[in-house]
Amino acid sequence: MNILYPLKFRPILKEKMWGGNKLKTILNKETHLNNIGESWEISTVGKDISVVVNGNLKGANLADLIKEHKKNLLGNKVYNQFGDQFPLLVKFIDAKRNLSVQLHPNDELAMKRHNSFGKTEMWYVVQADNDSNLIVGFNKNTSKEEYKKYLEEGKITELLNFENIVAGDSYFIKAGKIHAIGAGSLIAEIQQTSDVTYRVYDWDRKDSNGNTRQLHTELALDALEYEINNDFKLVFDQRKNISNQIAHCNYFTTNFLEINNKIVKDYSSLDSFVIIMCIEGEGEIISDSCSNSISIGETMMVPANFKEISFKSDFMKLLEVYIDEL
């Protein structure tokens, strides 16, 4: 008997100076906290370890479940590569104000400096206010010297590429690309398991104690991608009741799935866990052993040893995330 089943975790909510209330008002996160910037949906980063809230495993944490169930939970190839470390971190992010302009080192540099994975990530825009934007990359080819000049003169925003956004847009942010989430954006983020960030500009703001946040100017210089490219905007199909690939890389595959019926997904060939993030609507996830409701703002994880999962809904939109290449 398979004692595993599709797992739902308690979100780990984080107050941020730039956070708002959309995680509560749109994604239905229950909390007395204000200015919630992030909801870590599935995590084993540091002390932020996800805890199961459904079924017989309620109260168990993800790190312990991986140690106990190993390949049955993660998949053979994933476990062989990562062992007991969960390879992804998935979040919802609510930016009431601009996030800092930042970047993340690649695997090689992150391991050398921080004994950590690098961070390649992707964004899916769940909701956006009018005139919301994201910063993705530079607006022209530049160099380390020119970048430093703009930064020192307080003109760094003149060098940045601003992208106007609407709900449903998606972006691929590879390690080294300068970026920022703009005010008014509600984002689903899929990333490598890493919390290494180099902050290079923070809009000259101060916290409630009058302090500015630490910048990582020197660390960023050798981590930045100075040449522009146009591979960051992701275009994908939106056919109903089938998986439509949004992003595919060495670290994760993300699909868009809109359901208005009952469908059966065959995961037998993946050899990977599957993360399901509900970004609109509501429905059911049905396995041989149980049925679980899922609604906007909720995330579930299907263990790798499941072959088939049914989805049933009159209307819901999902992100389907797994590891396909190693």
Q: What is the pLDDT of residues 183-237, one digit of tens each?
A: 999 999 999 999 899 999 999 998 778 888 999 999 999 999 999 988 899 999 9
Q: Tell me the pLDDT tens digit for each residue of 272-298.
A: 999 999 999 999 999 987 899 999 999
Residue 198 shares a structural domain with residue 90:
yes
pLDDT number for residue 240: 98
99 lies in a domain? yes
Q: What is the DSSP string of 115-161?
A: SS----EEEEEEEE-TT-EEEEEESS---HHHHHHHHHTT-GGGGEE
> For a pLDDT cut of 90, what percent of the chain falls above it?
93
228 lies in a domain? no
Q: Where are the alpha helices (DSSP H) in the chain?
A: 22-25, 62-74, 76-82, 107-114, 144-152, 217-221
Structure-block tokens of residue 199? 């902050």
Residue 137 shares a structural domain with residue 44:
yes
Residue 39 shares a structural domain with residue 170:
yes
Element (H, E) at 291: strand 291-295
Query: What is the arithmetic mean of pLDDT over 297-309?
Result: 97
pLDDT number for residue 210: 82
Q: Are 201 and 224 in contact (CB under 8 A)?
A: no
164 lies in a domain? yes
pLDDT number for residue 164: 98
Among 154, 188, 221, give the residue marking a domain's end. Answer: 221
Provide φ and ψ at 82, rounded to 5°: -110, -10
Catalytic residue numbers read 199
Instruction: Give the domain range for residue 153.
Output: 7-221
d(CA 111, CA 11): 28
Residue 216 shares a structural domain with residue 258:
no
Query: What is the arithmetic mean of pLDDT over 57-69?
Result: 98
Beta partners for residue 267, in sequence order: none
Q: Half-sphere exposure of 170 toward its Cβ, with a 13 Å CA cutoff?
A: 22
Please return the burial class of 25, using the count of CB atoms within 10 Å of its CB with bins 0-12, 13-18 and 19+.
exposed
57 lies in a domain? yes
Residue 200 shares a structural domain with residue 271:
no
234 lies in a domain? no
Residue 256 shares a structural domain with residue 126:
no
Q: Tell me the pLDDT tens digit for each residue of 143-190.
A: 999 999 999 999 999 999 999 999 999 999 999 999 999 999 999 999
Confidence of residue 22 (pLDDT cuts 50, 70, 90): very high
Query: What is the arithmetic mean of pLDDT over 296-318?
Result: 97
Instruction: Report the number of distinct structural domains present in the chain.
Output: 2
Mean pLDDT score across all residues of the chain: 96
Residue 129 shares a structural domain with residue 260:
no
235 lies in a domain? no
Q: Which residues contact 122 (CB under 8 A, 6 or more apart)?
A: 170, 171, 172, 173, 189, 190, 191, 234, 246, 247, 252, 254
Q: How far is CA 255 from CA 141, 190, 320, in A?
A: 31, 11, 5
What CATH number is attached to the domain comprising 256?
Answer: 2.60.120.10
- Check pLDDT > 70 for residue 1: no
Q: Are 189 and 93 in contact (CB under 8 A)?
A: yes
pLDDT number for residue 91: 98
Beta partners for residue 189, in sequence order: 91, 123
Beta partners for residue 95, in sequence order: 185
Residue 178 shares a structural domain with residue 118:
yes
Residue 254 shares a structural domain with residue 210:
no
186 lies in a domain? yes
Residue 211 shares a structural domain with residue 278:
no
Residue 118 shares a structural domain with residue 76:
yes
Structure-block tokens of residue 321? 């995330």
d(CA 85, CA 178): 27
d(CA 126, CA 139): 25
Residue 34 shares a structural domain with residue 102:
yes
Among 171, 189, 221, give the residue marking a domain's end. Answer: 221
d(CA 197, CA 16): 15
